Amino acid sequence: MAQHTLARGHICPDCDGHASVAITLGGRTPAGHLRTITAHCKACHGTGTRQSGRTGSPSASAARAGR
Ligand SMILES: [Zn+2]
The string of pLDDT tens digits covering residues 52-65 is 655 555 555 555 66
**Structural domain contains residue 12:** yes
Query: Does residue 31 lie within any of the structural domains?
Result: yes
Q: Quote the pLDDT of residue 16.
A: 92
Whether the pTM exceeds 0.85: the reply is no
The reply to whether 4 falls in a domain is yes
Report d(CA 67, CA 58) in Å as an integer. 15
Number of domains in the chain: 1
CA distance 24 to 3: 23
* Cα 35 from Cα 29, distance rounded (Å): 6
pLDDT score at 57: 52
**What's the CA-to-centroid distance between 67 and ligand 1, angstroms?**
24
CA of 47 to the centre of ligand 1 (A): 7
In this prediction, residue 15 carries a pLDDT of 92
In a domain, 5, yes or no: yes
What's the CA-to-centroid distance between 30 and ligand 1, angstroms? 32
pLDDT in tens, 21-45: 999 999 999 999 999 999 999 999 9
In a domain, 62, yes or no: no
12: left (phi over 0), alpha (psi -120 to 50) or beta: beta
- Give 45 Cα–ligand 1 centroid separation in angstroms: 7
Domain span including residue 34: 1-51
Of 61, 48, 50, the residue nearest 17 (C-alpha): 48
The per-residue pLDDT for 52 is 63
**26 CA to middle of ligand 1, Å?**
25
